[in-house]
Amino acid sequence: MAKFKPFHEFQRPLIGFTPESFLDYIETVLPKDHLCRLVKEVVFSLDTEAIEAKYSFLGQRTYHPKLLLSVLFYGYATGVRSSRKLAERCLSGHIFIYLMQSYTPDHRTISDFRKNNLKEIERYFVDIVRIFSTLGYTQIGKIYLDGTKIKGNASAKRTKDKAGFEK
């Protein structure tokens, strides 16, 4: 019995689309240099054996970790971090549907995956940032403000300067 749901098949077809026509549609709509294609390619090149080893052959088949990682990392890149918002996008956003290959995880699945694999996700995140920086997709610099306080979406403990980032 397989551990993971096959991610070359679709959980259920979208209304008006067969799996083949949906993939054709996405291939024509998304530009070849779109960020989601790059995220998916990089995530699928990672060795996810550390996460895959945690899964059992017992019970229902699960979503493949590479699918969930690609949704998480694309969400991070576009500013969507909430598991509820990610689950909502997997239902309605064509990019997230493309990344999850039409599977629709609920917010609890995404949240539990992130919670149970936090150390591995951090390691993969560092690897992805390194790959993106070698490809020229990242910029590290300073942002100067005039003293105006602006509500941000970053933790003060996690904010780093260039030296901290390179470390």
Q: What tens digit of pLDDT does each residue of 128-161 get? A: 988 988 888 766 555 555 556 666 676 767 676 7
Q: What are 98-134's pLDDT values in tens digits?
A: 899 888 999 999 999 999 999 999 999 999 988 988 8
Question: How many structural domains compose the chain?
Answer: 1
Take residue 134 and report the two structure tokens written for it: 């070698």
Number of helices (H), then strands (E), belonging to the chain: the values are 9, 0
Residues 6+ positions from 33 with CB-CB distance below 8 Å? none
DSSP state of 13: P
The parent domain of residue 113 ranges over 19-166
pTM listed for this prediction? 0.74
Take residue 154 and report the two structure tokens written for it: 């970053």
Please check whether residue 7 lies inside any domain of the structure: no
Please check whether residue 53 lies inside any domain of the structure: yes
Please check whether residue 14 lies inside any domain of the structure: no
Please check whether residue 12 lies inside any domain of the structure: no
Please check whether residue 5 lies inside any domain of the structure: no
Please check whether residue 8 lies inside any domain of the structure: no
pLDDT, average across residues 21-44: 85
Residue 15 is predicted with a pLDDT of 54
pLDDT, average across residues 19-43: 83
Please check whether residue 123 lies inside any domain of the structure: yes
Cα angle at 145 between 140 and 150, to 5 degrees? 100
Please check whether residue 9 lies inside any domain of the structure: no
